[in-house]
Amino acid sequence: MRKTPIAARTLVASVTALAVVPMLAACTENASSGEDGKKGGDARTLSVGSSADACELSATKAPAGTLSFDVTNTGSDVTEFYLLGADGLRIVGEVENIGPNLTKKLTVNAPEGDYFTACKPGMVGEGIRAPFTVTHSEQEQVSASDQELIDQAQANYRAYVQDQSAQLLEKTKEFVQLYEGGKDDEARALYPVAREHWERIETVAESFGDLDPKTDAREADVDFAAGEKWTGWHRIEKDLWPQDAKGYTALKPAERTTYGDDLLANVTELDKRIQATGSDALTYPIDAIANGSIGLLEEVANGKITGEEEAWSHTDLWDFQANVDGARVAYEGVQGLLEAKDPALAEELTAKFDALQAVLDEYRDGDGFVLYTALEPADTKKMTDAVNALSEPLSKLTAAVTS
């Protein structure tokens, strides 16, 4: 997925520089007379038109609760839409990769307060921004049984993210030691295995806008002309697989140490933030967990299926599997709540996760997978079809569990 200068990409957590702002999901009542001026309409359902030079919303305010933004791309470039916190940095929610003439929905649970909306035609830059206000409203309380499911889902997902982060740190230490020590064959073997832990929690890792570009930027994402530096996993990947980098000059031992130490420092800082307790502790609202499942599957569609993520190692299917793992864990965390609200959707999602996994399993090779270069167009089409079949019902998950 392309990394952009705007804070971080996330559908899992809404973050400030060091912490996520809690937003407990709650069932909400529809307004009979919308704040957007549409009598009899639902003031929490808004339309957004994104063009090359405008970001037009049907309203600039809405009552607190579960908000839905139907974002239509009326321009000629791929676009994305954000709801940002009052500081203009914290991402409350986003929907991305909206092609021309297409519409995608963003569903978030937003408490009373000041926000910004932003459309980003071309998916670059700061975007077209405008103030947005969420006003006070009386909301229905979730039932005791629903709240128990919500509390459990949040606790379980937090534990899962912390476990994956801890494993990522340990594998990164081992990888950096091998790389800096010149043990290239062993480093190559560990590279996709270590990255699995990153990919399983990618939407959380991406939520830290200062760490994500330093750790996971691809070469094509870096604006060298503007003086940006390329560091992280993929910088080292290129050095370990130089045969696919024409005209490439291998890094010297001292340079390897610089890049290896930098990667480890950033992963260490990531783990520190994820493991934080007290006022700095990350929280995972129910809508953010559901959005995280959707976001991880979009990661598959936008980078792994195309072979763009691992340009030199071609280990994209390890990443693919890890993204699917993370998406399924997030879904299963809210599955009990979904089964109480929409059992048919829960049944469909479970079946289509199973179907996607069956397709992936066809490309296993020992403990890993075949390289992306071994795939034929028919293989990538089969994978794409399975991802698309899951994406459509999965897009309904957040609205279903927060209704």
How do residues 215-235 score in pLDDT, each as one tens digit?
999 999 999 999 999 999 999
Q: Residue 38: what pLDDT? A: 42
The first and second tokens of residue 356, run together, are 């996607």
The gap from C-alpha 110 to its chain's centroid, in whole angstroms, comes to 19
What SS3 state is found at 318?
A: helix
Tally of helices (H runs) and strands (E runs) in the chain = 11, 11
Q: Each residue of 246-264: b (16+ CB within 10 Å) or e?
A: eeeeebeeeebeebbebbb
Q: Are strands 61-63 and 128-135 parallel, antiparallel or unpaired?
A: parallel
What SS3 state is found at 326?
A: helix
Q: Residue 33: what pLDDT? A: 35
How do residues 19-71 score in pLDDT, each as one tens digit?
333 332 332 233 333 444 344 468 999 999 999 999 999 999 999 888 999 99
Burial of 214 (0-12, 13-18, 19+ CB in 10 A): buried
CA 230 – CA 218 distance, rounded (Å): 8
CA 382 – CA 387 distance, rounded (Å): 9
For residue 193, what is the DSSP state? H
CA 191 – CA 305 distance, rounded (Å): 19
pLDDT band at 3 (very low <50, low <70, confident <90, very high): very low
The first and second tokens of residue 378, run together, are 């028919």
In angstroms, the Cα distances linking 74 to 69, 70, 117, 132 are 15, 12, 17, 21
Mean pLDDT of 378-399: 96
Model pTM score: 0.74
